């Protein structure tokens, strides 16, 4: 099998010598170093919109997180995240003896490094009320220094969210089902309804980390709120997610934006043009999921036909996933492959009986309601 | 860090139960199975040409390989290779006691499966003369049954290559430097020159497996022959190449073709529109490497500027590699990052002193001659 | 973070220069090559027995497999498998037009290479009767040239197995549940019972590839037959199993042998000292699983204690899996961690209320019957 | 190849249903989560000593690091590091506006969590003088609150190190070659010599991160100082080291200790029983490297012999690396394999001409002096 019988030069030794000569008693083992680059997550444009990968919920040592704000920036850069918001808790500073409890700092300390690295950093905070009503994230905020930390009454809760609202913030309800055993905690309670009716609530987290808050999806669909997904990272993203698997990323919001800018992100969030993404899973409004699927998945024309032993004429097609998303399909109508798994940047060969115009598949990994998957029609050519 | 305290359901157990219920005493551990999909190698079109990933040199049990021909097809499908040719040795059948020494069989046994899977299978063979002159691959051949196996004389060598030539084959010289210690083996000898002058030689392998035959590159450039790269696989691709590294693929020829068809591959090979690719390394004509680089690498306009402590104004740019290729750049002219490594599907931030119109980099991993790298000019906006 | 600001020497370039100097126009990209070594699967000795990793069921081009016999040897060597048997089908030679249908050849062609590489190669064959009764593997066979290929009658079935039995072979029933929809195919039928009563059946495959034949486990336990696990590979192991996951291996039989020799393997198989292993799953007789678990898993004495907010005194322990096996534990008795996952070569910290002498866990991934997991008692010190 | 044709149940869907039933509108995608376990680094005992994996140099947000101290603990736990010391800079607190500049805190905040997780946490600090003399690490320190931060004079330098010395600390010189372009910075200067003569200097960092300070190795050997290796982590270990490669770990000191305790670590450090380890590279005193190699690498007796075509009798041996270390060997005396690469937990087959009693290899990846590799003699049986 191996034709070449040249003297094998050991890499290590060759390298060591080269480096040692140059460096006067100091050599560096560069080959052990983790290569530094910004990964590009591949998602094609959807109907002329850029699909920005955004994570608007994470923490640092300035509340109960375990990293300096610059780590959040670097993680985002490495992973190919377009925009983040550091949303430390207004009301919770467990390290207040060691770290100044100033919620403006995480943003201030990081903004110029973010600009240099071309990552969009949006100012935000987590308004952390007792449950119910629970936690709310505010994005595009102003000065956070006089936000409310008193959590003693419902009036204070209202005042707390109002602070953000008065600054014109985009506000979403975080992980509504996070405390299942507290009665009323995972319900559309009056407080939330009042926020909603006063246009002080704009979205809900449907995916938070590994949690899928199914009721939240229905609320978003029924009430026209924006579907959100976030990592809510406290520790390191890479220690939390099994990112060595090529289809696993932190949980994010895919934002369909006119361009890659803070202004366009805001416009898209307000227009509700988002899909929540938790690696293998997607959740969102039917229209956006449908468009996203069409942008990512392509069924080529028939490339081969044969007549099987039973006399059935069978056509073969190549179906390609041009994105870093992941889709599992189940056949609903037609005679073709019962199941198709579309891994990131890959294709499959499927076969279908001839004489059919189209096939109907359900995308088992994409939710348009808590009890309903995305259904896609695929034209056969 | 972990807010949710729900009962953890063990995946294994949950799954086992679900499956066991359904299957009446038989369960399957699907999660251990290697997922099956065709990987898509990402290389953008170059000046309107598709960049097809081709490997025209490999063996099976029908000569001295160790796999059935269908394995070659499956490997190609898995790895996202567009076109292959199974080129078993005409003159060497070490398994002739166990396997019928019929060189038409590898193609015949595989062609319909290839069509079904949308992989282009080109009929070929390796004409395996003693060294010198060595080995030649013939593509687009006809019936191989009366090819010459007698290797006793130079006349027989000529007759052997003529067989392929008479069938109108595309012929390239394999791994010319493979036996360095045989005098005259790695030279432009008369036999080869005669082939060349009779238009019976159309290309040379510059990359064969892990070997870079540097003189072959110069010959291709100087004489207008097509630059070829091949795996020359005898065992399994995945056992030979460290494919767990995301930038490592088998060695191939990138063919710039009008469309994805056998006809267009032939046209491109004859026109010399190829680049040899050995994972991190590229070799080819300057024009094609230049165009390939431009199609893959994009330098965005300046996104940030700052004045450094020394009073120098510094601009920041994002440089993106939109392909699965790999490039290492070294600065030749201008004031900017000395070195840039562009990993597959990734980007880097670079900075350059303001007031410059462009930068000149050498691509240290791309060869346009044995002693010359590709040089690229990058405009600054 | 990076203190050293030396000139970065690019690895690629440094290497290229070193190699090019030496090799006169030919350089080799060694860094792309898949490193060659024999992986050591770690399983400690069990009660003085070596735990040999064995796979006694696989195919090559000499029946319906897709690789040359030497590939089976190399796979075994790479993966750290101690012993294999190439068991091509006696009755099925789909490639008989291209490959000599001689079942002695796979062993003969491979034996000296096996000895050189220190892999134990046991002569065998698959007696491939119609279902029912189905397929039987024979190990330690003699000459296979006059084995029965006629499958027309039940008498011929009997004669076929008798051939192996007359040669003193160790015979096991393969994948009994493989054709669920054929009536009587997954039952303890008379034919099998007669083999059993005539001591012509010595084991049954409980794990075959990804399939767990649950009834087979009960039969083995109830009738004193040897529990077998095999890969039944036709294609490549690495394409079938997701071996990039560090806990996934081909399906095997763990044989508790007096030493690493063919003789001791035979003795252990006849004594029934085996456990079937399918990466995350184990199946076998309670005694052997119990001993295997004890050899692999160690619970250290308490290393830390604390009194919790509720006034409960809590002890902390380190539990270590010293093997490449995988165990999931569920608490059955005691107050401690409800679930423990023991990944290969790793440990976990668990805590238990003080005042307990021991804990009872069920090993959810280890089966001692189709409906019963291994139960282990862990003493607390 | 695939015999079983049962209905494929999609993992995702099966799982989703199971989980959704249980969880009342909230499901968790457990399969995306990074598994949590403590990796066990395998190094056999050396002459009755435990080989502890230790890293005594790292930073947190309390000086110029980017993580909370608890992250350092968790990293160590995950990676299987036995003992660490958090050694924030006494003299450098870039975050002093945001974080209390109290060097006692990193240890205090982490010690009980360390004990719970069975990781040995040793109190320490980095005394960070201007270069020369540069930086010194002090281990087993007392209260750090009145350590010297004034760096204006040489007297203050002396006073600073004396503080640690007075507390009975173990003191080592960090990365002596880190500023090559400052004259006198990488020399055995008078200040250091005076420390040494006053027994206030006990070791030197030979490996710091990816840097190999070659002169430091010779100083250690010649003057009887302890050879140290450390990560000097400021960011995350996993972002700095390419730990997805199975042979890459953070840089550490291997300490040959009587047992796994702080007391024994101290005793071993003072006795100089250490080896510095940078993934593929080792550096230390000849005696300790020799013993370590013998404990890790085993050459089995001959298992096969053959006479080659040239009439030479050739013996085959299996050589096994039972550790997670990595060794590259080059033949110096004898007739056998020129080069052997011993990957972690793996073996190789080598062959040697018969009639030899032993072979001499140089371990190209192990340094006993700046210009000398470890030489090992391997007896042939």
d(CA B161, CA B148): 9
Please answer whether residues C334 and C358 qualify as being in contact, where contact means their C-beta atoms are separated by less than 8 angstroms. yes
Chain A partners of B320 at a C-beta cutoff of 8 Å?
Answer: 40
pLDDT band at A9 (very low <50, low <70, confident <90, very high): very low
User: Residue A35, Cα to own-chain centre: how many angstroms?
Assistant: 24
Q: Note the pLDDT tens digit of each residue in D211-266.
A: 999 999 999 999 999 999 999 999 999 999 998 888 899 999 999 999 999 999 99
Q: Hey, are the CB atoms on A18 and C22 less than 8 Å from each other?
A: no
- Choose among C4, C9, C22: nearest Cβ to A18: C9
pLDDT at position A110, please? 98
Phi and psi of C307, rounded to 5°?
-105, 125
Q: Is residue B119 predicted with pLDDT exceeding 60?
A: yes
Q: Is residue D12 predicted with pLDDT exceeding 80?
A: no
Q: How many CB pairs under 8 A join A and C?
A: 41
Q: Hey, are the CB atoms on C99 and B97 less than 8 Å from each other?
A: no
Chain D partners of C249 at a C-beta cutoff of 8 Å?
Answer: none
Give the helix/strand (H/E) hosting C130. Answer: none
pLDDT band at A187 (very low <50, low <70, confident <90, very high): very high
Q: Hey, are the CB atoms on D34 and A281 less than 8 Å from each other?
A: no
Q: Tell me the C-alpha to C-alpha distance, in Å, between residue D349 and each of A5, A348, C112, C253, D352.
A: 18, 40, 14, 24, 10
Share of chain A above pLDDT 90, in %: 87
Q: Hey, are the CB atoms on D322 and C40 less than 8 Å from each other?
A: yes
Q: 3-state class of D319 per DSSP?
A: strand
**Tokens coding B162:** 């003529």
- Choose among C9, C23, C26: nearest Cβ to A22: C9
pLDDT at position C5, please? 23
Burial (Cβ within 10 Å: 0-12, 13-18, ≥19) of residue B307: exposed
Range 225-254 of A in CB contact (< 8 A) with D: 235-236, 238-244, 248
Q: Hey, are the CB atoms on D234 and C349 less than 8 Å from each other?
A: no
Q: Note the pLDDT tens digit of each residue in C16-58.
A: 444 444 467 888 888 899 999 999 999 999 999 999 999 999 9
**Got the DSSP string for C163-199?**
HHHHTT-EEEE--TTTTTTSTTTTS--HHHHHHHHTT
Chain C partners of A8 at a C-beta cutoff of 8 Å?
Answer: 30
Q: Hey, are the CB atoms on D345 and C240 less than 8 Å from each other?
A: no
**Residues, chain A:** 381
* Residue B199 contacts D, CB cutoff 8 Å: no
Q: Is residue C198 predicted with pLDDT exceeding 50?
A: yes
Supply the mean pLDDT for chain B. 93
Mean pLDDT of C3-9: 26
Task: Give the chain D residue nearest B2 (alpha carbons).
Answer: D33
Phi and psi of D327, rounded to 5°?
-135, 135
Query: CA angle at residue A251 from A250 to A252, to 5 degrees?
Result: 110
* DSSP type of residue B35: P
pLDDT at position C18, please? 44
Please answer whether residues C88 and C102 qualify as being in contact, where contact means their C-beta atoms are separated by less than 8 angstroms. no
**Beta-bridge partner residues of A329:** A340, A363
Chain D partners of A29 at a C-beta cutoff of 8 Å?
Answer: 210-212, 278-281
Burial (Cβ within 10 Å: 0-12, 13-18, ≥19) of residue C10: middle
Please answer whether residues C97 and B96 qualify as being in contact, where contact means their C-beta atoms are separated by less than 8 angstroms. no
Q: Note the pLDDT tens digit of each residue in B163-203.
A: 999 999 999 999 999 998 898 899 999 999 999 999 999 99
Q: Hey, are the CB atoms on D9 and B22 less than 8 Å from each other?
A: yes
Q: Note the pLDDT tens digit of each residue in A119-144.
A: 999 999 999 999 999 999 999 999 99
pLDDT band at D356 (very low <50, low <70, confident <90, very high): very high
Share of chain A above pLDDT 70, in %: 94
Among A62, A98, A238, the residue to mutate for chain D (most D Cβ within 10 A): A98
Neighbours of chain A (3+ CB pairs under 8 A): B, C, D
Counting Cα atoms < 13 Å in the Cβ hemisphere of B200 gives: 19
Query: CA angle at residue A145 from A139 to A146, to 5 degrees?
Result: 100
Q: How many CB pairs under 8 A join C and D?
A: 92
pLDDT at position A10, please? 37
**Residues, chain D:** 381
Distance from CA of A327 to the nearest CA of C (A): 19
Please answer whether residues C335 and C350 qualify as being in contact, where contact means their C-beta atoms are separated by less than 8 angstroms. no
pLDDT at position B4, please? 24
Chain A partners of D31 at a C-beta cutoff of 8 Å?
Answer: 280
Q: Note the pLDDT tens digit of each residue in B11-57.
A: 344 444 444 444 678 888 888 999 999 999 999 999 999 999 999 99
Q: Note the pLDDT tens digit of each residue in D185-208.
A: 999 999 999 999 999 999 999 999
d(CA C344, CA B260): 46
Q: Which of B320, B364, B365 lies closest to B345 in space, CA to CA? A: B320
User: Residue B187, Cα to own-chain centre: how many angstroms?
Assistant: 25
Ramachandran class of B245: left when φ > 0, alpha when ψ lies in -120 to 50, beta otherwise: beta
Q: Are strands D170-173 and D203-208 parallel, antiparallel or unpaired?
A: parallel
Chain B partners of D15 at a C-beta cutoff of 8 Å?
Answer: 11, 14-15, 18
pLDDT band at A24 (very low <50, low <70, confident <90, very high): confident
Distance from CA of A12 to the nearest CA of C (A): 10
Chain C partners of A11 at a C-beta cutoff of 8 Å?
Answer: 15, 30-31
For chain B, the C-alpha Rg in angstroms (whole number) is: 25
Chain A partners of D364 at a C-beta cutoff of 8 Å?
Answer: 10, 12-13, 16
Q: Note the pLDDT tens digit of each residue in D254-285.
A: 999 999 999 999 999 999 999 999 999 999 99
Phi and psi of D184, rounded to 5°?
80, 0
Mean pLDDT of D334-351: 97
Please answer whether residues A260 and B303 qualify as being in contact, where contact means their C-beta atoms are separated by less than 8 angstroms. no
Strand segments (E) across A165-266: 170-173, 203-208, 211-213, 226-230, 252-257
Please answer whether residues A159 and A151 qualify as being in contact, where contact means their C-beta atoms are separated by less than 8 angstroms. no
Task: Give the chain A residue nearest D327 (alpha carbons).
Answer: A12
List alpha helices for A284-374, DSSP H: 286-296
Neighbours of chain C (3+ CB pairs under 8 A): A, B, D
* DSSP type of residue D234: S
User: Residue C315, Cα to own-chain centre: how many angstroms?
Assistant: 37
Mean pLDDT of B333-349: 97
Distance from CA of D14 to the nearest CA of A (A): 10
Range 58-87 of C in CB contact (< 8 A) with D: 66
Among C66, C76, C346, the residue to mutate for chain D (most D Cβ within 10 A): C346
- Of the listed ranges A216-220, A274-278, D308-312, the least confidently predicted one is D308-312
Chain A partners of B316 at a C-beta cutoff of 8 Å?
Answer: 116, 118
- Choose among C4, C14, C23: nearest Cβ to A18: C14
Q: What is the pTM of this model?
A: 0.94
pLDDT band at A165 (very low <50, low <70, confident <90, very high): very high
**Got the DSSP string for A89-137?**
BSS--TTTTTB---TTHHHHHHHHHHHHTT-EE--EEEEE--TTT-EEE
Supply the mean pLDDT for chain D. 93
Mean pLDDT of B294-322: 96
- Choose among C4, C7, C15: nearest Cβ to A15: C15
* Residue D13 contacts B, CB cutoff 8 Å: no
Distance from CA of D140 to the nearest CA of B (A): 31
Q: 3-state class of A150 per DSSP?
A: coil
d(CA C134, CA C157): 9
pLDDT at position B25, please? 87
Q: How many helices (H) and strands (E) would you count in chain A? A: 9, 22
Q: Hey, are the CB atoms on B61 and C68 less than 8 Å from each other?
A: yes
* DSSP type of residue C56: -
pLDDT at position B28, please? 87
Supply the mean pLDDT for chain C. 93
pLDDT at position D23, please? 62
Predicted complex ipTM: 0.93
Q: Note the pLDDT tens digit of each residue in C248-266.
A: 999 999 999 999 999 999 9
* Residue C22 contacts A, CB cutoff 8 Å: yes
Please answer whether residues A12 and A1 qualify as being in contact, where contact means their C-beta atoms are separated by less than 8 angstroms. no
């Amino acid at each position: 099998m191996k034709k070449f019988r040249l003297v094998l030069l050991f890499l290590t030794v060759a390298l060591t010598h080269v480096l040692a000569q140059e460096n006067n008693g100091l050599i560096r083992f560069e080959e052990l170093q983790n290569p530094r680059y910004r990964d590009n997550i591949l998602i094609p444009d959807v109907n002329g919109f850029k699909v920005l990968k955004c994570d608007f919920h994470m923490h640092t040592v300035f509340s109960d997180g375990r990293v300096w704000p610059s780590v959040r920036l670097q993680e985002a850069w490495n992973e190919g995240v377009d925009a983040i918001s550091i949303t430390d808790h207004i009301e919770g500073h467990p390290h207040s003896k060691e770290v100044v409890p100033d919620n403006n700092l995480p943003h201030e300390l990081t903004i110029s490094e973010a600009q240099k690295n071309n990552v969009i950093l949006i100012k935000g905070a987590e308004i952390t009320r007792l449950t119910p009503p629970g936690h709310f994230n505010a994005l595009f905020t102003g000065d956070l220094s006089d936000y409310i930390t008193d959590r003693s009454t419902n009036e204070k809760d209202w005042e707390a969210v109002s602070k953000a609202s008065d600054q014109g913030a985009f506000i979403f309800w975080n992980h509504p089902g996070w405390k299942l055993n507290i009665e009323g905690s995972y319900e559309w309670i009056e407080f939330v309804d009042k926020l909603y009716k006063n246009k002080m609530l704009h979205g809900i987290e449907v995916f938070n980390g590994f949690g899928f808050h199914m009721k939240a999806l229905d609320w978003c669909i029924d009430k026209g709120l924006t579907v959100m997904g976030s990592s809510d990272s406290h520790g390191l993203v890479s220690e939390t997610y099994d990112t060595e698997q090529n289809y696993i990323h932190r949980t994010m919001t895919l934002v369909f934006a006119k361009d890659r800018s803070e202004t366009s992100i805001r416009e898209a969030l307000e227009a509700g043009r988002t899909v929540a993404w938790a690696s293998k899973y997607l959740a969102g409004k039917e229209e956006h999921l449908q468009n996203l699927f069409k942008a990512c998945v392509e069924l080529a024309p028939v490339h081969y036909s044969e007549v099987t032993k039973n006399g059935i004429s069978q056509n073969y097609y190549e179906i390609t996933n041009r994105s870093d998303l992941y889709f599992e399909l189940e056949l609903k109508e037609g005679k073709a492959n019962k199941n198709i798994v579309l891994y990131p940047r890959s294709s499959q060969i499927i076969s279908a009986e001839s004489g059919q115009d189209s096939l109907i598949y359900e995308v088992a990994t994409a939710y348009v309601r808590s009890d309903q998957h995305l259904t896609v029609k695929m034209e056969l050519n």
